[in-house]
Amino acid sequence: MAHVKGLKCRECHRPYPAKPLHVCEFCFGPLEVDYDYAALRRVATRRAIEAGPPSIWRYQALLPVEGEAAVGHACGMTPLLPAKNLGAALGVRECYLKNDAVCHPTLSFKDRVVAVAVTKALEFGFPVVACASTGNLANSVAAHAAEASLRSVIFVPADLEQGKIVGTLVYRPTLVAVDGNYDEVNRLCSEVADKYGWAFVNINIRPYYAEGSKTFGFEIAEQLGWRAPRHIVVPAAGGSLVTKIWKGLKELQALDLIPEVSTRMYVAQASGCGPIVNAIKADSETIRPVKPKTIAKSLAIGNPADGYYAFKAVKESGGGAEHATDEEILEGIQLLAATEGIFTETAGGVTVAAAQKLIAQGVIPRDESLVISITGNGLKTQEALTGVLPAGLTIKPTLKAFDEALAAHEAETSGA
Ligand SMILES: *Cc1c(COP(=O)(O)O)cnc(C)c1O
Ligand SMILES: [Zn+2]
């Protein structure tokens, strides 16, 4: 299976071997996995993919893993749901949700990238996997490391949600809460990676890690019967997911697995941390770092590593971008829950709210297919809804108590 040629600089296109490298020595551009597409045409057929396992590994030919995948056998192939109720609420005819709130094992799309990164870390013989995380990556690296019997060291900003802390600690990693924001955590981790020689999934293994995000786009296309939708709204933190969904769709097109792609990509970020959206709106390819201040902590990266490439993907596709305020994020979470019965985390609230604005503005037309990317689970960011939702009824265990409470409740909710 010699479909990986090696790595290649995204800027000067110099080739590199498929080693744990991530930066070009000549121009400091980021490295990316380079495939032999002619060889891929023979192995990556619709029939071969459809006959594969019901996980991201059905696309293994298009991922940088040569042998047996070590982890992630239940990861991916999450539902693409026709969202009639949400579509009606937003006023669009053909609306789908790609629901990675139920991705395995840790209920966010990060399982896709980590399954690839941890498999690679094992291949390269690293004794320790590590990451700088805004929360979901922490959960996923700790879980996959446990499955792979690798030690993990996880760095997070100290102000993370409780669900993300507990959902990391349960796997018994070394968890390091850093008194600083993600960008400070990430800077520290670059130094730790150099000094300790660990596999930081989103730093020195990043070229491999990032490829896992392509599967989000592959699945959308396969689940639509091998075609790409007209519009996809994607939340962005570092900007990798949106960049790689775009790359993945282009690969499917190049391999004649889908017809010509006319998909428009849209980035959703919080108003309190929207450096990529700012750049797209200003039509300026310079990403100006910001200081994050938002309840969407999983998206709170002020200096996004792939911001420039996310910008390029959006521009190349003819898409756009929109922000969501904290209030709009909470409304987005509740709208998705009320219409489709799906509880997403704050990042999903950002995506729903941004999609809603883009539709209202006429940027996304009402009569074209739209996929809204739900990338994480609401049970992990419960504190965002504290004091927002109405309380339930509390009663004594008698029918009389229930009758009275129900009557009072109905009077209250139907009344003025
Ligand atoms: C990390 C994350 C994203 C964004 O990922 P990037 O590839 O860094 O842009 C989106 N949604 C959720 C829930 C995340 O945890
Ligand atoms: Zn270069």
| 368 CB burial (10 A radius; 0-12, 13-18, 19+) | middle
User: Per the structure block, which two tokens stand in for 237?
Assistant: 């933190």
Domain shared by 291 and 158, yes or no:
no
User: Per the structure block, which two tokens stand in for 393?
Assistant: 């009824």
Closest ligand 1 atom, residue 241 Cα: 7
Judge whether 144 and 71 are in contact, CB under 8 Å. Answer: yes
pLDDT at 298: 97
Domain shared by 225 and 175, yes or no:
no
Q: What is the CATH number of the domain that holds 54?
A: 3.40.50.1100
108 lines ligand 1 (CB under 6 A): yes
Domain shared by 89 and 231, yes or no:
yes
Domain shared by 175 and 248, yes or no:
no
pLDDT at 415: 63
Domain shared by 124 and 190, yes or no:
yes
CA of 282 to the centre of ligand 2 (A): 27
**Unique residue bearing structure tokens 């409304």:** 331
User: Per the structure block, which two tokens stand in for 236?
Assistant: 């962005």
Q: Which of 147, 175, 209 is the last residue of a domain?
A: 209
Q: In 3D, which of 348, 325, 322 has the Cα closest to residue 335?
A: 348
**Which amino acid would we find at residue 355?**
A
167 lines ligand 1 (CB under 6 A): no
Q: Which of 147, 179, 209 is the last residue of a domain?
A: 209
Domain shared by 335 and 246, yes or no:
yes
Q: Residue 309 pLDDT > 60, yes or no?
A: yes
Domain shared by 93 and 137, yes or no:
no
Across-strand partners of 269?
323
Cα end-to-end span (Å), the chain = 68
What ligand is nearest to the CA atom of residue 22? Answer: 2
Q: What is the chain's Cα-based Rg? A: 22
- Residues with C-beta atoms within 5 A of ion ligand 2: 9, 11-12, 24, 26-27, 29
Question: For 196-235, b where at least 16 C-beta lie within 10 A, e where not — what string?
Answer: eebbbbbbbbbbbbbbbbbbbbbbbbbbeeebbbbbbbbb
pLDDT at 96: 98
Average pLDDT of 154-182? 96
**Unique residue bearing structure tokens 């994050």:** 292
Q: In 3D, which of 263, 262, 273 has the Cα closest to residue 236?
A: 273
Q: What span, in angstroms and rounded, lies between the C-alpha atoms of 191 and 340?
A: 44
Judge whether 264 and 230 are in contact, CB under 8 Å. Answer: yes
Q: What span, in angstroms and rounded, lies between the C-alpha atoms of 103 and 97?
A: 13
CA of 298 to the centre of ligand 1 (A): 6
Mean pLDDT of the chain: 96
Q: Which of 185, 209, 233 is the last residue of a domain?
A: 209
Pairing of strands 95-99, 31-35: unpaired
Domain shared by 339 and 397, yes or no:
no
Domain shared by 331 and 249, yes or no:
yes
Q: What is the pTM of this model?
A: 0.97
Torsion angles phi and psi, residue 407, rounded to 5:
-60, -45
**Tens of pLDDT along 115-144?**
999 999 999 999 999 999 999 999 999 999
Chain-centroid distance, C-alpha 45: 26
Torsion angles phi and psi, residue 78, rounded to 5:
-75, 160
CA of 398 to the centre of ligand 1 (A): 47
**Tens of pLDDT along 34-89?**
999 999 999 999 999 999 999 999 999 999 998 999 999 999 999 999 999 999 99
Provide the pLDDT confidence category of residue 177 given band limits of 50, 70 and 90.
Answer: very high
Average pLDDT of 256-268? 98
**Unique residue bearing structure tokens 């989103």:** 202
Q: What span, in angstroms and rounded, lies between the C-alpha atoms of 383 and 378?
A: 10
pLDDT at 89: 98
Average pLDDT of 362-381? 98
Q: Residue 1 pLDDT > 70, yes or no?
A: no
Domain shared by 187 and 291, yes or no:
no
Closest ligand 1 atom, residue 345 Cα: 13
Domain shared by 22 and 58, yes or no:
yes
Q: Residue 416 pLDDT > 80, yes or no?
A: no
**Tens of pLDDT along 323-371?**
999 999 999 999 999 999 999 999 999 999 999 999 999 999 999 999 9
376 lines ligand 1 (CB under 6 A): yes
Maximum CA extent, the chain: 78
Domain count of the fold of the chain: 3
Q: What span, in angstroms and rounded, lies between the C-alpha atoms of 306 and 243?
A: 8
Closest ligand 1 atom, residue 298 Cα: 15
pLDDT at 414: 83
Number of other residues whose CB lies within 10 A of the CB of residue 403? 11
DSSP states of 349-365 as a string?
HHHHHHHHHHHHTTSS-
Q: What span, in angstroms and rounded, lies between the C-alpha atoms of 105 and 95?
A: 26
Closest ligand 1 atom, residue 213 Cα: 7
pLDDT at 56: 98
Q: Tell me which residue range forms the domain holding 149.
A: 4-72+110-209
Domain shared by 39 and 59, yes or no:
yes
pLDDT at 2: 60
